[in-house]
Structure 1
Amino acid sequence: MDQMWIAVLLGIGMGFAGSIPLAGPTTMLVLSFGIQGRIRAAAGVAAGSALPEAIYASLALWGFGALLESFSWVAPVSRGVAIAILLIVGLFLLVKPPGEHDEASQEISDQTGLMRSFLLGTSLTAFNPALILNWGAAATLLYSLEILDPSPALAIPFGIGAASGIVAWYAIVLLLLHHYRKRISPVLRTRLLRSMGGLLIGLAVLALMRSWLRGDFI
């Protein structure tokens, strides 16, 4: 029982800390919806992204991440998918930032698009196999420090904790955005969204160049 609660707490901590970096497609979408005041849509993306990560975290603690690392093609494919996701979301925010819509259409979209936003967050995370490698590295760290035993019984509690930590971080972010959003003018809002898109595209290009220079990009 003690190990189970430790697994939950470690999952919460790792899920929370792992969600803090802002340079990611899911985080950028959550921020973009939050800046527009579409809190329901932002919450849908956040909750949707937490579900696959919980599964990935559970599989990693179960040892599935180490199994995947034994296949040489997994890492380059993961990088390719991650780069594609960065480019798609980046272009979406850069070319046609959602902030260009009027307030009424944003409100209607926020009320009707909760499930769509949830599925969007789920798909962004589920189709990013690099995440299971990241969770695999986290599980390896826990094993090496002898904090947790590689037991399948701890996999589900760890995954639940990871999802809880992710949702907790995004909840804090959305509460802050909801409180301070009205101080952001529509012009600044659009500039922020386009800047987010440009940042994601820049990260995708950087990742592509690094993979090309290493010669390990498929």
Structure 2
Amino acid sequence: MEAFKKLTGIVGPVDRVNVDTDAIIPKQFLKRIERTGFGQFLFFEWRFDEAGKDNPAFALNQDRFKGASILLSRANFGCGSSREHAPWAILDYGFKVILASSYADIFYNNCFKNGILPIKLSEEQIEDLFQRTAANDGYELTVDLENKTISDSNGLNLAFDLDEHRRQFLLQGLDDIGLTLKHEDEITAYEQKNAARLFA
């Protein structure tokens, strides 16, 4: 997993509450066995019309949001089923940060396991960011995980809270397996000692 320290990127808005995992990655696309390739199906029912063409009413299809790496949404993001394909699709599309006022617990935890930084802000802060995004083409934010700040080029400076254990996961680019492997020497020593005791 890639380490995450600081990102400056375009903000892509999905101005909806209760965005569930079936909207993020519909069930008919869960047949792949790899973690990659899901980005093309992200928000499929909203991004495309019945003929499979881009829906111009959906914000992420607009040129001003092309290449966005920071996803802006509203309360209860990632609710619904526990499918880990949802963060896989978000990351594969190109988003590395999500900004919302609240998240479903399982989705929130799955983000950290896949190298995505989900940040919780107040509803007032989220609303302000939607307004700034609407008013400025190619609106960019800088997300600094080391200092736990969000800023823009117009004087915005927000602080955010994050559990230190999760922050370190991202800063070091670790998932659960990577964290375990940091203790490989101790694990090996224990196994050797235990084997010697059992077969002495």
TM-score by length of 1: 0.23
Structure with the largest fraction of helix: 1
TM-score by length of 2: 0.25
In our comparison, the structure showing a higher alpha carbon Rg is 2
